[in-house]
């Protein structure tokens, strides 16, 4: 994660290109977005993956057709494959959804480094 690396270890960074910068932290809805993300993650981690996906689709304003396709269960999956898929999805929910809204960014520090 380039943003975190730049903040935590600026001495090792020469150049950086941001991919998916933490724009949520700039928006006036940042606190509500973070609360929504936390609700999505908690729902996923308590095992209600379908409800978590619906909350995620709503938060991301995903269209009906995309939500239908993304929310389809694996066809002909055995119990082990289904369990592995659920664990993978829970990992994604826990670590990916929160990463852009949960970190406190120090923009002044970044500005000073870039000079």
Output the DSSP codes for 24-78. Answer: GGGSTTHHHHHHHHHHHHHHHHTT-HHHHHHHHHHHTT--HHHHHHHTPPPTT--
- Predicted confidence at residue 10, as pLDDT, reads 80
Instruction: Tell me the whole-structure pTM to 2 decimals.
Output: 0.63
Q: How confident is the model at residue 12 (pLDDT cuts 50, 70, 90)?
A: confident
- Predicted confidence at residue 42, as pLDDT, reads 92
The residue ranking higher by pLDDT, 115 or 91, is 91
Q: What pLDDT, in 10s, does the model give residues 37-63?
A: 899 999 988 878 888 888 988 888 888
* pLDDT tops 70 at residue 2: no
């Amino acid at each position: 994660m380039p943003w975190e690396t730049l903040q935590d270890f600026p001495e090792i960074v020469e150049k950086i290109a941001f991919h998916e910068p933490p724009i949520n932290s700039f928006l006036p809805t940042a606190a509500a977005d973070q609360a929504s993300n936390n609700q999505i993650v908690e729902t996923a981690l308590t095992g209600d993956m379908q409800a978590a996906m619906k909350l995620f689709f709503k938060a991301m304003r995903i269209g009906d057709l995309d939500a239908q396709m993304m929310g389809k269960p694996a066809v002909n999956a055995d119990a082990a494959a289904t369990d592995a898929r659920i664990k993978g999805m829970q990992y994604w929910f826990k670590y990916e959804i929160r990463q852009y809204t949960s970190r406190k960014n120090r923009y002044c520090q970044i500005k000073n480094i870039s000079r």
